[in-house]
C-alpha cells in the first residue's frame, strides 16, 4: 500500500468504526496507537476523545503484559521500546482495561469465526484472559485492512474470538458481545 492508500484507509476505518453502536454508547474504550503500516488509529482515537470518551492506551511491560494510561492526545505520547508510542501520564494498572466498554485490538488477520491472529507476543491474550477472569464482557473489535478477513487463521485453545472486525470498507460481525 502506498502512503496515500494508508491515509485513505485510516480515514475510512475511523468513519466505519464510529458507526458501530458499541462505540456510540461507550464511556471508556481501550485502544492502541498504531505504528508502521498497521491500520491507523489516530483519527478514530481523536474522534472518540472529541465525543468525551475516555480512551485508554496500552503500556508494554517487561513481561509482555499491558498496563494502561489515558490517551491525552498525540502530543502526550512518548516513544517506547519496540518502536511503540505510549501515553506519558500516570499508569492505571493492568486491571484498568476491565472498565472498558469496548476493547479495540490490533491484529494481522481474523477469520470467519472471529479468531484473531496477533503478532505472537501474547499481550492481548493476557488482556482477554484478564477480562474473562473479571467477568466483564466488553465488545471486542479488531481493526484491519480489507483483505485481512480470511476464511481461517491458526488458532489455539486459549484464543478468545472477537465480536467484530472493522475494515475500511465493511464491518464483519462474528458474535454478540
Residues within the annotated binding site for ATP? 116-124
Q: Which positions make up the binding site?
A: 33, 38, 116-124
pLDDT at residue 125 in the model:
92
Show binding-site residues for substrate: 33, 38
What distances in angstroms separate CA 10 from CA 16, 77, 99, 117, 124, one per listed residue? 10, 19, 26, 20, 22
The strand pairing partners of 140, in sequence order, are 103
pLDDT of 176 reads 55
- What CA–CA distance (Å, rounded) separates 52 from 170? 25
**For residue 99, with 0-12 CB atoms within 10 Å meaning exposed, 13-18 middle and 19 or more buried, which class applies?**
middle
Q: What is 3-173's CATH topology?
A: Rossmann fold (3.40.50)
Tens digits of pLDDT across the chain (177 residues): 888 888 888 899 999 999 999 999 999 999 999 988 899 999 999 999 999 999 999 999 999 999 999 999 999 999 987 788 999 999 999 999 999 999 999 999 999 999 999 887 889 999 999 999 999 999 999 999 999 999 999 888 778 899 999 999 999 999 755
What does the pLDDT read at residue 155? 83
Q: Which sequence spans correspond to the domains of the chain? A: 3-173
Amino acid at each position: 500500500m502506498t502512503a496515500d492508500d494508508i491515509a485513505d484507509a485510516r480515514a475510512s476505518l475511523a468513519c466505519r468504526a464510529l458507526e458501530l453502536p458499541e462505540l456510540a454508547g461507550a464511556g471508556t474504550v481501550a485502544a492502541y496507537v498504531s505504528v508502521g503500516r498497521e491500520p491507523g488509529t489516530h483519527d478514530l482515537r481523536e474522534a472518540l476523545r472529541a465525543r468525551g470518551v475516555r480512551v485508554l492506551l496500552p503500556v508494554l511491560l517487561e513481561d509482555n503484559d499491558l498496563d494502561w494510561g489515558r490517551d491525552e492526545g498525540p502530543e502526550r505520547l512518548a516513544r517506547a521500546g519496540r518502536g511503540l508510542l505510549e501515553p506519558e501520564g500516570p499508569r492505571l494498572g493492568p486491571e484498568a482495561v476491565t472498565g472498558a466498554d469496548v476493547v479495540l485490538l490490533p491484529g494481522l488477520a481474523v477469520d470467519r469465526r472471529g479468531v484473531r491472529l496477533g503478532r505472537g507476543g501474547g499481550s492481548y491474550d493476557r488482556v482477554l484472559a484478564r477480562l474473562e477472569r473479571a467477568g466483564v464482557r466488553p465488545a471486542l473489535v479488531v481493526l484491519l485492512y480489507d483483505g485481512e478477513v480470511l476464511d481461517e487463521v491458526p488458532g489455539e485453545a486459549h484464543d478468545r474470538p472477537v465480536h467484530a472486525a472493522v475494515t475500511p470498507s465493511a464491518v464483519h460481525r462474528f458474535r454478540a458481545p
